[in-house]
A and B are shown apart, each in its own frame.
Chain A
């Protein structure tokens, strides 16, 4: 199991950062972060549609890290725990929220993720919607943790193309960075 410290310098914290997370990801920490951010945004009178998008993407990103992580561990009741970091920033000039995540993944997981991104690359909302419907009808990507719809949902909600980076870390382990703009 990797240590939290490995990801400490993974993401840049700056004056726009309104929330940072660098600990164990599990069901409880996802709930805690989601509730915290919902309250933070509500207290700042952020529009409900923005709150919904940030909330849903945050959950999706954290559940994504839970599923695709080097060294994630199985907990009782078919639950998982992983290590990962994310930051939520707000750029007041562009009225944009930026969600960035970073965690360690294996080469095998890189291949899975890359193939999923290839499917959605360059698709507009109409095409993404069509793809989501096809996947829901076919259930081809259903697994015990999801329906293979997470990246499509991210692409539909993100106002800019999803940015991903895979940076060699050691042996067959890489840093996986993901960035979404809302």
Chain B
């Protein structure tokens, strides 16, 4: 069982990473309880790129989570290593969350296989109630 630690004077650093041609924009904001990934994800060293991000998320959900957290996944293309990272992120959230988490999985309305990846994760992490959110144009 998690300890109820008083963390009022300890701040967590927010992380903002700019989008590149092969890596997504990442926003990790603990004050706003907001996490977002947007763009393409196929960095050569995928695990190196995501290591601090996954660690931040683990810290956030084990020590800093105070209210409902919103997580937006707006990834258009991703490589197989990124599928493992998303799995690890959802796994960390499911294992550690104490409050409500709203997870929105964005997919292109005109993409026939847009829901395939969503289905894989939503079935595996049933407890997280991942929402599928269709968008008409490229995010």
Contact = CB atoms under 8 A, between A and B. Distances in A.
Contacts of A56: 77-79
A47 B22 contact: no
The secondary-structure label for the interface of chain A is helix
Interface string A64-101: 00100000000001111000000000000000000000
Contacts of A63: 42, 44, 79
Interface stretch (A107-115, A138-146, A164-172): A138-146
B20 to A, nearest CB: 8
Contacts of B76: 52
A53 interface: yes
Question: How big is chain A's contact interface, by range?
Answer: 35 or more
A49 interface: yes
A59 interface: yes
B80 A147 contact: yes
A136 B110 contact: no
Contacts of A3: none
A39 interface: no
A142 B78 contact: no
A160 interface: no
B48 A144 contact: yes
A47, A56, A144 pick with most chain B CB within 10 angstroms: A56
Q: Which 4 A-B pairs have the closest CB atoms?
A: A147-B84, A149-B80, A48-B111, A49-B112
Interface of B: 21-22, 42-48, 76-81, 83-84, 87-88, 108, 110-114, 120, 124
